[in-house]
Structure 1
C-alpha cells in the first residue's frame, strides 16, 4: 500500500469513517456530476469503472438501471447525461460548498418540527421525512418533536419550504420556539455531541491533507494518476457527505472557525481532484 494510501486509511479511521468505494450506480452519477457538461460518452465511463474493479457489463447494467429510473438520460447514441435540473439530493451534493452561507446570527430561538400525527406505516414517506430532518440538522427533543437552532437564513418560513422540498411529511408542523425553560434550554443544547463534532472537523482536515498527498503523487505517471483519481473520488464522497450532514450549529454552541477551515480545504481539494478527473476523462474519450 502506498504511504499516502495508508495515511488516508488512518485519517479516515480517526474520523470514524470508512473509505468505501462507490458502487457502479454511484460511480456513474459522480462522474457525470463531476464533468462540467454533466454528460459523457460510454468509453470513459467504462474505463473509469475498471479503476474500481467493475466489468464493462456491470457499468452497462448500471447505466440501463439509472436510465430506467430517470436518473440518467441519453442525449445521443452512446452519450449519457444527468437530466435537466437533477434530483434534490444531487443538488444538495453539488451545493455543499454554499451551505456555510446559510448560517446567520443566532438570537437563541429554535425551529421545531412536530410530527406526532405522522403515518409511520408509510415507509417511503417516513424515510423521506427523516432524511429531510437529518439533512437540516434536526434532533429529537421529545416524542414527535424535533429541534434545531433558528440560525438558518430566511428563518422558519424558509426552513419550512426547504424541508417540504426535501420530503418532509405534509402533516408535520414547522414553527419557531423561544423562551424555553432553563432546563429545556440545556436539554436542547445537549442534543448534539459538540466535542465529537469538533473532533470530527480536525479528523476530516487530516483526511483531506492525506488526500492532497495522494494527489501530489499523481504526477508520477499514468498509473499513479489513475490510482490517485480513484482514491480522490472515494475520499471526496466521504468528506462531502459528512459536510452535507453537518448541523451548521451557531457559534454560541460550537465555534465555526474549524468548520470553515474544513470547507475551504475540501473546496481546494475538490478543485484539484476535478482537474485530475477531467484530464483522465478527456483522454479516455479521445481513445
Structure 2
C-alpha cells in the first residue's frame, strides 16, 4: 500500500538535518514508493496551502514554524518513556459534554488529541487516563489543546473514584492487544535490522520508512500506562528496538538524500 505523498514528504523533511528540500530530491524520494512526480508536486502544493511548508528559494521548501511545532510533538516519542512516573492511583480527566459534534474536522482533531494522550471514555463525554506522566496537569492540558482539543473542554485531576468506577477505569485499555503489539513489532524490527546492511540503498530506505513509520505511530498513540496495567519490560524492549531502527533508518535516508544532491 502506497504511503500518502504528504505524509511521506513530511517524514522526509523531518529526517533532513537542514530541513531544506529541493523539489527534484523530493520527487526522487517519492519515486521509491511509486509516487509520480505530478502527485509529489500536488502534495507539496497542499502542504504549502496548509501552512506546513514554505518556499525558501527557487524549487526549495522548508518546514514552517507551525510544522516545527507539530514535528517537535511527534519527535517526542523518542523520550516518551522518560515521561513516566510512579502512579499514585490518581486520574486525569477531560469532559467533552459541552463540545459540538457536527463539525467533523473538529471532531477528528479532538479524537486524535485524546488518543495521542492515552485517554479513554469512562462514561459519556468523560475521558480519563492514569495520572502517571511527569509534569503538571496544566502541561497535559496545554498539550491536548495544542494537538486539537478545544480550549472549552475542562482538563482536571481526579483524586478519587468510587470502587466501581475505579475498577472499570482500569479495564478501559486492552492489555493483551498492547502487549501483543509490542512483541510483534519488536520481532519485525529485529528481522529488518538483521538484513538491513545487505539491502540496496533504495530498498533499505523504502523499507525503513514503511516499517519505522508504522512502529513510530504505535508508540505515538501508546497510552503509556503504569506498570500495574501493562508489561513494562515488553514495552521497553519494543521502545529500545525502535530507537535502534530509527538511528539506522535515519542514516540511510541521510546518505540517500546527500547522494541525490551530489548527482543533481
Equivalent residue of 1:86, what SS?
helix
> Whole-Å Cα distance in 1 between the matches of residues 2 and 196 of structure 2?
17
Higher relative contact order (CA 8 A, sep 6+): 1
Matches within 5 A, 1:19-38: 20-38=1-19
TM-score for the superposition, normalised by structure 2: 0.94
Aligned match of 1:274: 250
1:234-265 Cα shifts (integer Å, max 9, x gaps): 11110000000000001121132221221111
Aligned residues: CA RMSD:
1.5
> Whole-Å Cα distance in 2 between the matches of residues 173 and 42 of structure 1?
43
Report how far residue 47 of structure 1 moved.
1.3
- Does structure 1 conserve the Cα–Cα contact (< 8 Å) formed by 2:51 and 2:64? yes
Which runs of 5 or more structure 1 residues have no equivalent in the other structure? 1-19, 219-223
> Whole-Å Cα distance in 2 between the matches of residues 281 and 87 of structure 1?
20
1:200 aligns with 2:181: yes
1:75 aligns with 2:56: yes
Matches within 5 A, 1:258-273: 258-273=234-249
> Whole-Å Cα distance in 2 between the matches of residues 194 and 121 of structure 1?
32
1:243 aligns with 2:222: no
Aligned match of 2:210: 234
Number of equivalent positions:
263
Report how far residue 85 of structure 1 moved.
5.1
1:115 aligns with 2:91: no
1:91 aligns with 2:72: yes
Matches within 5 A, 1:1-287: 20-84=1-65, 86=67, 88-218=69-199, 224-287=200-263
Which runs of 5 or more structure 2 residues have no equivalent in the other structure? none
Report how far residue 88 of structure 1 moved.
4.5
Report how far residue 163 of structure 1 moved.
1.1
